């Protein structure tokens, strides 16, 4: 557990944008590189490595630029190793950058000023901040002392959060006896007890079942709407993203590939529509492979991928030659488009290494 010393809040001026909204997170040319030891295989190579080590430089973040405004709920997406968690660690002050600048609420995160530490929270789905063998309520009391929360304000926040997440009856149970979903709820409570203005969430629903994911989503949506705090979320579950975020940032190979709306991801990275046709007769559906890629055939229905510019032409041709009882034209699922973007980015990275 990282102990954050408390300090009085210090208001810092932040430049307003053209719409008069306040950029909470401002990043310019942010970079982070690691020098990694290359261990060779075999005993002799290991002994040689004690005296002549070989290293390579790994660029986790490669000069990203980003602004997040007050009250935004932004999805930060990317394949494994893209630089998402590294960026959140930089913004939290856990690590120092190799280059570039960043401010959160006017503070430089890696200076680790006490006033800044009181105004943000970081929750990592694969890291615990609660004491494993103690009840969660004991860890909450420790957080009260660390952040010097007024006793009445602490009790009010604790009761509100435990009621919203429906875990009040679990406060006295050791954390190790809680389910994964229950532990994540306790982690969220611990992070929000001091009422942070910025919340960084790194895979908060990882490993949770569908019900637990849904409960966490509902809580985060309600809390963010009520408090208007700024949240940056990384997640591999597109249902989290679709349920919570209007804006998405895609990072791959340490650089930002896209920054915009969720709908814009499909428009930019998907060149096809999914067309489903239900034919009126009982005969087998016709062969439609000349119009696109056939995805599924379940008589009397056919589903296929068709290039966006050719959808109207394809429908006109089919309707002219066949009796169709139903037609649907849809965008491909968001998770399919995102997966395709990630795959393309990884293939480009592998090609660059050759």
pLDDT tens-digit readout, 74-133: 999 988 888 899 999 999 999 999 999 999 999 999 999 999 999 999 998 777 888 989
Which pLDDT does position 13 carry in this prediction? 43
The predicted model gives 158-164 an average pLDDT of 95
* Residue 50 confidence (pLDDT): 73
Average pLDDT over the chain, rounded to an integer:
86
At the second CATH level, the architecture of 23-266 is 3-Layer(aba) Sandwich (3.40)
Give tens-digit pLDDT for 9-43: 333 444 445 445 668 999 999 999 988 877 777 77
- Closest-CA residue to 58 (of 85, 32, 84, 27): 32
Q: In what order do the strands lie in the sheet with 99-104?
A: 55-69, 23-37, 99-104
User: For residue 346, is pLDDT > 60?
Assistant: yes
What is the gyration radius of the CA atoms in the chain, in angstroms? Answer: 25
Which of 318, 335, 261, 326 lies closest to 298, judged by CA? Answer: 326
277 vs 49, 250, 271, 283, 307, CA distance in Å?
Answer: 63, 33, 20, 14, 16
Report d(CA 285, CA 297) in Å as an integer.
8
With a pLDDT cut of 90, the percent of the chain lying above it is 55
- Cα 162 to the center of its chain, rounded Å: 24
Average pLDDT for 337-352:
75
- How does strand 73-77 pair with strand 247-252? parallel
C-alpha dist (Å) from residue 104 to 9, 20, 65, 111, 335: 14, 17, 13, 11, 30
**Residue 327 in 3-state DSSP?**
strand
Token digits of residue 20: 């008069």
> Sorting pLDDT into bands at 50, 70 and 90, what band is 249?
very high
Q: Which is higher by pLDDT, 80 or 223?
A: 223
Per-residue pLDDT of 297-319, as tens digits, reads: 888 889 999 999 999 999 999 98
Residue in this structure with the two tokens 């041709």, named with its chain if needed: 317
pLDDT score, position 1: 36
Q: How far apart are CA 296 and CA 289, in angstroms?
A: 11
What b/e readout covers 295-332, taking b as 16+ CB neighbours within 10 angstroms? eeeeebebbbbbeeeebeebbeebeeeeebeeeeeebb
* Terminal Cα distance for the chain, rounded: 41
Of 276, 290, 291, 260, which Cα lies nearest the Cα of 324? Answer: 276
Selected residue with higher pLDDT from 299 and 283: 299
Contact 77, 241 (CB under 8 A): yes
Contact criterion met (CB below 8 Å) for 243 and 270: no
pLDDT in tens, 49-68: 777 777 788 888 999 999 99
DSSP letter for each residue of 213-255: HHHHHHHHHHHHHHH--EEEEE-S-HHHHHHH-SEEEEEETTE
Least confident of 181-195, 219-233, 266-280: 266-280
Fold of 271-330: Alpha-Beta Plaits (3.30.70)
Contact in structure between 282 and 276 (CB atoms under 8 Å): no
Domain ranges of the chain: 23-266, 271-330
């Amino acid at each position: 557990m990282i102990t954050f010393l408390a300090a009085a809040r210090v208001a810092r001026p932040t430049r307003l944008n053209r719409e008069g909204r306040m950029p909470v997170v401002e990043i310019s040319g942010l970079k982070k590189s690691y020098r990694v030891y290359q261990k060779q295989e075999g005993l002799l190579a290991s002994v040689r490595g004690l005296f002549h080590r070989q290293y390579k430089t790994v660029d986790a973040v490669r000069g990203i630029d980003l602004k997040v405004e007050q009250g935004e709920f932004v999805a930060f997406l990317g394949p494994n190793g893209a630089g998402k968690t590294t960026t959140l660690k930089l913004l939290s002050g856990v690590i120092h950058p190799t280059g570039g600048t960043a401010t959160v609420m006017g503070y430089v995160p890696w200076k680790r000023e006490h006033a800044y530490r009181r105004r943000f929270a970081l929750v990592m789905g694969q890291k615990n901040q609660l004491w494993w063998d103690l009840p969660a309520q004991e860890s909450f009391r420790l957080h009260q002392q660390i952040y010097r929360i007024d006793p009445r304000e602490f009790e009010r926040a604790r009761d509100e959060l435990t009621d919203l997440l429906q875990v009040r009856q679990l406060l006295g149970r050791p954390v190790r006896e809680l389910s994964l979903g229950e532990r994540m709820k306790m982690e969220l409570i611990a992070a929000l007890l001091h009422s942070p203005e910025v919340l960084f969430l790194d895979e908060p629903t990882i490993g949770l079942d569908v019900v637990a994911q849904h409960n966490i989503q509902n809580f985060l949506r309600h809390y963010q709407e009520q408090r208007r705090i700024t949240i940056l979320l990384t997640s591999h579950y597109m249902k989290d993203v679709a349920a919570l975020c209007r804006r998405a940032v895609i990072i791959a190979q340490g650089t930002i590939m896209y920054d915009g709306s969720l709908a814009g991801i499909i428009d930019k990275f998907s060149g096809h529509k999914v067309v489903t046709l239900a034919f009126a007769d009982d005969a087998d559906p016709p062969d439609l492979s000349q119009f696109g890629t056939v995805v599924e055939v379940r008589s009397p229905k056919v589903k296929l991928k068709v290039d966006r510019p050719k959808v109207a032409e394809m429908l006109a041709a089919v309707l002219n030659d066949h009796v169709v009882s139903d037609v649907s034209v849809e965008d491909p699922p968001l998770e399919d488009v995102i997966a395709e973007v990630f795959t393309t980015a990884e293939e480009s990275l592998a090609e660059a290494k050759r």
